[in-house]
Chains A and B, each alone.
Chain A
Amino acid sequence: MTERRGTFQEEALPHLDAVYRFALRLSGSPDQAQDLAQDTFVRAFKAWDQYTPGTQCKSWLFTICRNLYLRQWERGQRHDRIVAENTRPETPGGDVVNPLWSAVAQVDPEGQFFDAIVDEEVLRAIDALPEDFRTMVVLSDVEGLSYQQISDLVEVPVGTVKSRLFRGRRRLQKVLYEYAVEMGHIRGNLGGS
């Protein structure tokens, strides 16, 4: 094995699980996620000379992964959804008081109903988000990237990251709450929601 491959494997391969998880959420398919993750690492290896050792390797791999996904895998309905979402105006901030939490606080202030929701249902809700919202929520809430790291990765301003995170989370919260009400995990008290 050459020194180049040795260095790459030492620095990049530890992020294989994270890249696979990200690819899985992007593609929605374990088979496609494997291909996408493999393509990501091969592409990264070929571009390894452009990488500065010790910098944000995981973010760099996520960037490659997402770019590959958008180029090679985005088809049909999901593509339509991205275009539709991106044509909508950004509404940064929104109301600081989450009306859903105000209502839920009356019956389940600790949010225990989330523990009753099966993981598959959470994943279904995430996968149903438009790609740009899904990417931001996964990178922030699952992978723990900072606003600035996501901004650099997705190439949008930090304000847009915050806005899309806000909207993506609110959508997910509403979907999961409605599911929990339907399943009887929590008493619905939103009056028609």
Chain B
Amino acid sequence: MISCREALRFLHEFLDGELEGAPSEQVRAHFEACRRCYPHLQLEASFRAALRRACGGPCAPPELEARLRAALAEAEKS
């Protein structure tokens, strides 16, 4: 199994989906087995979930799409 330091070094790449294949599996296996490192994975994941929850909400207001379609029609003429 890879060391704690190695696992933590790849924590961000692992969560960001930037690790593939064997390295990703090695990091996953370490976090699943290591009680000391596991909270680092959980805390980092909870932090990111909070960001997604806060930022993911707002959708474009309906009037923006209408405005935009009119602006595109206008841009097409010019």
Contact = CB atoms under 8 A, between A and B. Distances in A.
Interface of A: 1-2, 4-5, 8-9, 13, 16-17, 19-21, 24-25, 30, 34, 37-38, 41-42, 45-46, 96-98, 101-102, 104-105, 109-112, 114-115, 117, 119-120, 122-123, 126, 137-138, 140-142, 146-147, 162, 165-166, 169, 172-173, 176
Contacts of B59: 17, 20-21
Given A8-B72, A109-B43, A146-B18, A122 B51 contact: yes
B75 interface: yes
Contacts of A46: 75
Given A34-B64, A101-B43, A105-B40, A141 B56 contact: no
Contacts, number: 133
Interface of B: 5, 8-9, 11-12, 16-18, 38-40, 42-61, 64-65, 67-69, 71-73, 75-76
A126 B68 contact: no
Contacts of A45: 72, 75-76
Contact of B46 (A4, A20, A111, A165): A111
